[in-house]
């Protein structure tokens, strides 16, 4: 990891898996002194069975409607969709998470840039959505994926445009 003098990481470039990368982000930003802070995980990639269950009180769901309770989470992890509904989904999630996150809690948003109708979309627009909902960005951490695939000369063009990084946007209220 590359660190700046204020110890905020900007790039995770050690070729670790994405679960390990997110756990290092949680270690850095979870300043909650309570035992087992309540965590809402709305991602599809995290495998919590790899980690000690005593670290967090975890609710895991992809269905945000009616599942979560007001002001009950110290940490929320959200993964943006990579389709034409990404902004609609992010707006709905940002408003919902605003009512869910405890004061002083953290929201970690995993976002990828992608092409839609020939234009690059993703992280910048998502950042603006969450800021309009009252969150403030404390850090943008870039995670470089471990991409060791070799392409043949006759491979289709879309294979060359794989995602090679993700952004973890760390917000507070």
Could you report the per-residue pLDDT of 15-42, keeping only the tens digit for each?
677 888 888 888 887 765 556 788 889 8
Nearest to 169 by CA among 145, 135, 146: 135
pLDDT at 108: 95
Percent of the chain predicted with pLDDT > 70 = 71
Q: Cα(173)–Cα(166) distance, rounded to whole angstroms?
A: 23
Q: How far apart are CA 75 and CA 26, in angstroms?
A: 9
Tell me, yes or no, if the pTM score tops 0.85: no
* DSSP H helical ranges for the chain: 18-29, 86-100, 123-132
Token reading at 122: 């993703």
The HSE-up count of residue 72 (CA atoms within 13 Å, CB side) is 8
Top-confidence residue, 168 or 11: 168
Task: Give the range among 1-15, 77-91, 147-161 with minimum mean pLDDT.
Answer: 147-161
pLDDT tens readout for residues 5-16: 444 456 666 667
How far CA 120 is from CA of 82, 83, 88, 112, in Å, comes to 11, 12, 17, 10
Dihedral sign, CA of 51, 52, 57, 59? Answer: positive
Catalogue all structural domains in the chain, each as residue range(s) with its CATH number.
2-146+160-172 (3.40.50.150)
Top-confidence residue, 166 or 160: 166
Count the alpha carbons within 13 Å of 122 in the hemisphere toward its beta carbon. 23
């Amino acid at each position: 990891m590359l660190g700046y003098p204020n110890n905020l990481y900007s790039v995770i470039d050690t070729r670790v898996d994405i679960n390990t990368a997110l756990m290092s982000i949680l270690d850095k930003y979870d300043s909650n002194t309570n035992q087992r802070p309540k965590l809402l995980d709305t991602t599809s990639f995290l495998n919590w069975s790899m980690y000690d269950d005593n670290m967090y009180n975890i609710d895991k769901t992809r269905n945000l409607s009616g599942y979560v309770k007001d002001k009950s989470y110290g940490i929320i992890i959200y993964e943006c969709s990579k389709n034409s509904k990404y902004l609609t989904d992010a707006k709905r999630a940002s408003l919902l998470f605003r009512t869910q996150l405890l004061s002083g809690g953290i929201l970690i948003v995993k976002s990828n840039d992608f092409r839609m109708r020939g234009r690059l979309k993703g992280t910048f627009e998502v950042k603006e959505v969450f800021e309009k909902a009252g969150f403030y960005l404390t850090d943008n951490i870039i995670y470089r994926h471990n991409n060791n695939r070799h392409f043949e000369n006759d491979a289709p063009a879309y294979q060359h445009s794989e995602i090679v990084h993700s952004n973890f946007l760390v917000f507070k209220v």
